[in-house]
Amino acid sequence: MSSKRRLLSACGATLLASGLLPSNPAQADLLIDVRNPNLASLKSADFTQGSGPLTLDVYAKMTNVAGGAEVNAAFQEVQGSFLSTGALLGTLKPAGSACCGLASETVVGFAPFNATGASTGYSVDTSSPADGIFDIGKDLDGDGDLDLGQPNQDAAPGFTFIRSDRGNKASTQGAGNVGTVVDAGAAVEWKIGKISFTPAASSANGQTTSVISPGAKTPTPRSPRAPPSTTKALPPIGLATASPPSARRW
């Protein structure tokens, strides 16, 4: 019998922005957001048993940029974790592009955010003997399904790493830049990658989950001309309480 499950997707985090231009230290806010590609329902999706995985887009959005977002905002890289939290169990996987010329290595980011150094977010080596290559994710929140990333922000291996080889600006700022100016010019956002969620076969009708990134950070910038920004606290958005579709909708 068909089983309908609901997934609510959202992600809020306060981050340090690597590659923020110009060269002088500046303040900006960076939000990493997970969205349903279905424009009619950006923050929710219904599953039917056997329908396959749901692919979710990952965005970076920069606001409150000194000197104006369109001209000065530039996003380069971020590392962190993606978790599904709620009664609806499932597996999160990277669904972006191949990284670094290795066709077998699909990472979360896609061009230009799949540059050398980008990683899957897998953190478990299943080979015997171990070969040092992470093959699957791990359960980061103890709910019994597989997430992407690591619980320890001070240990870089195993984190999802999305990166470009240089700061990427709004598309109005020249060739190769892919950012979109939004909010009447007050912000720039980039679609930086994709993840997929495959619900467990045991999922029951009316179960829900939220896909979140509870903590993430950017590595130390690689150039003294690209210092990190300072950030303001951004509250989480869209962290929905599990409920059947007939109850409170998001």
Question: 16-33, pLDDT tens digit by residue?
Answer: 333 333 334 457 899 999
**Please, which residues have CB within 8 angstroms of residue 32's CB and are 6 or more apart in sequence?**
11, 12, 13, 15, 58, 59, 60, 78, 80, 213, 216
Residue 153: the pLDDT is 64
Q: 19: closest CA among 225, 241, 236?
A: 225
Predicted TM-score (pTM) of the model is: 0.77
Return the pLDDT at 96.
94
Question: Whole-angstrom Cα distance, residue 89 to residue 217?
Answer: 26
> Does the pLDDT value for residue 1 go beyond 60?
no
Instruction: With beta carbons less than 8 A apart as the criterion, state whether 207 and 198 touch.
Output: no
> Per-residue pLDDT tens for 113-165?
999 989 899 888 888 888 777 888 989 989 999 999 987 766 667 889 999 99
Whether the predicted pLDDT of 10 surpasses 70: no
Q: What amino acid occupies position 82? A: F
pLDDT tens digits for range 181-198: 999 999 999 999 999 999
